[in-house]
Amino acid sequence: MKDRNYLDLVEKVTMYLDNELSETQERELLKEIKDNPHYLKLLSQEKLFKEFIKSRIHRRKPSAALVQSIKDKIKSPYASEPALSSISSRNP
């Protein structure tokens, strides 16, 4: 049971660091962390790990041609035509 609680805490801490918690969930987690020094250590470790990963991974920017190609597909007047024709063929 203790392992499950730990995994839940790790998940909450990860969500907190990713700004995925609601304000209420965030307050509850911060209260838990304040009440338990082990939780604070876990938060610090996870934060350091995320910072380490971010500093080591370099994301390549998409080429201008790829960006333009995606924009063209979105703007294309024919982009939604197959969806429309499949809908109209289903209706009697």
For the chain, the structural domain boundaries read 2-56
CB 25 within 8 A of CB 12: yes
**Cα–Cα distance measured from residue 65 to residue 77, given in angstroms and rounded to the nearest whole number:** 20
DSSP designation for 1: -
Give residue 63's pLDDT.
92
**Cα–Cα distance measured from residue 25 to residue 31, given in angstroms and rounded to the nearest whole number:** 10
Ordered mean pLDDT values, 10 residues apiece, the chain (92 residues): 79 93 94 90 92 87 92 75 50 48
- What pTM did the predictor assign? 0.57
